[in-house]
Amino acid sequence: MARLQILELPEGSGDDRPPFVLVVDQCMPQRIALGADAPYRDYWQGLTDKIGARGVIVTPETVDIPANEPERRVVDVSGFGENLKNRLQRATESQQAIGEESGDG
């Protein structure tokens, strides 16, 4: 299935909004035959013109744009096992203390 992505371009001094290119990957280019006066129309170029993109790239290949990747967080898990063990120990001790107070222990 085709994927739509935005490739942001550097802004120029006369740009009133950020320029971009529409990238359509995992899709074959599509042209529609119209007739003698206009031999064909490119579907994606028509969409590009309507949304104000500077251009369009259509390719059957997969294109990964790094700026479109979700931000990856690095989580420090060092000491996680020890921390979990300590919390479980405290919970167990707390549970035992509650049992002793109520006379269950």
Q: How far is the C-alpha of 2 from the C-alpha of 27, rounded, in Å?
A: 5
Main-chain dihedrals φ then ψ at residue 97, nearest 5 degrees: -65, -40
pTM as predicted: 0.56
Query: Taking residues 1-5, what's their average pLDDT?
Result: 89
Q: Is the pLDDT of residue 105 over 70?
A: no
Per residue in 87-104, pLDDT (tens digit) is 888 888 888 887 777 666
| Closest by Cα among 30, 27, 9, 21 to 48 | 21
- Given the structure tokens 């222990």, which residue do they identify? 105
Q: Is the pLDDT of residue 74 over 80?
A: no
Question: What is residue 103's predicted lDDT score, i.e. its pLDDT?
Answer: 67
Per residue in 6-47, pLDDT (tens digit) is 999 998 888 888 899 999 999 987 776 667 776 677 788 888
Query: Taking residues 54-64, what's their average pLDDT?
Result: 91
Question: What is residue 104's predicted lDDT score, i.e. its pLDDT?
Answer: 61
Query: Taking residues 61-83, what's their average pLDDT?
Result: 81
Give the number of other CB atoms < 10 A from CB of residue 38: 9
